[in-house]
A and B are shown apart, each in its own frame.
Chain A
Amino acid sequence: MSLLNGASAALITVGVVFFIAGTMGLLRFPDLFTRLHALTKADNLGLGFIVAGLALYSGSWMVTIKLVLIWLLVMTSSAVASHLIAQAALRKGIKPWQAP
């Protein structure tokens, strides 16, 4: 039981690190497109790690299925939203950032 809790804690720690990385990217990156890149990928991966850790912690199949469904919904909606925002920005004529 303690081994399961340890694995769960490790997975949740990795997920929290990905969330911190996503927020750092949102603050530090120079452009709308790069910020979208940081946010929608790193945060969904972090949410996946946290969901995996919580599923190990709960120890129940029904809870696991529900958590994975929440993660899939968040991933789908985030991918659709990021593509919509990026396409609208390109159509409005916002140039992607180039390294100077």
Chain B
Amino acid sequence: MTTFLTAASIIVLVTIAIGFVRVIRGPGKADRLIAAQLFGTAGVAWILLFAYATGKPGLSDVALVLALLAAVSAIAFVKRAWKSAEEEPHESA
């Protein structure tokens, strides 16, 4: 079972690595950001699988932190970094 969990975690890690192709290629900024969202979701799955493969269930706290940071990064991107110059600032918050 440990071998199976390790293999599954390696496959999920490979899907994250393949998803980073979109960071390099993606035409817009948002395409690059949703690859970071992939790192948020699949990174949580990878850490959970890795935690139980190595017998250290405390690593699931790291998964929680990663999930929180992925949400905060997406919100900060939309609210701060993705404003175009020609858009009028009709929102104050």
Contact = CB atoms under 8 A, between A and B. Distances in A.
Contacts, number: 132
Nearest to A57: B52
A67 B4 contact: no
Contact of A85 (B12, B34, B35): B34
Classify the secondary structure of B's interface with A: helix
Contact of B84 (A46, A51, A78, A92): A92
B45 A77 contact: no
B18 A13 contact: no
Interface of A: 5, 8-9, 12-13, 15-16, 19-20, 22-23, 26-27, 32, 35-36, 39-40, 43-44, 46-47, 50-51, 54, 57-58, 63, 66-67, 70, 73-74, 77-78, 80-82, 84-85, 88-89, 91-92, 94
Given A13-B8, A81-B75, 15 more contacts: A15-B45, A20-B11, A26-B34, A27-B19, A35-B34, A50-B49, A57-B52, A70-B60, A73-B64, A77-B71, A81-B37, A81-B70, A81-B71, A84-B74, A92-B84
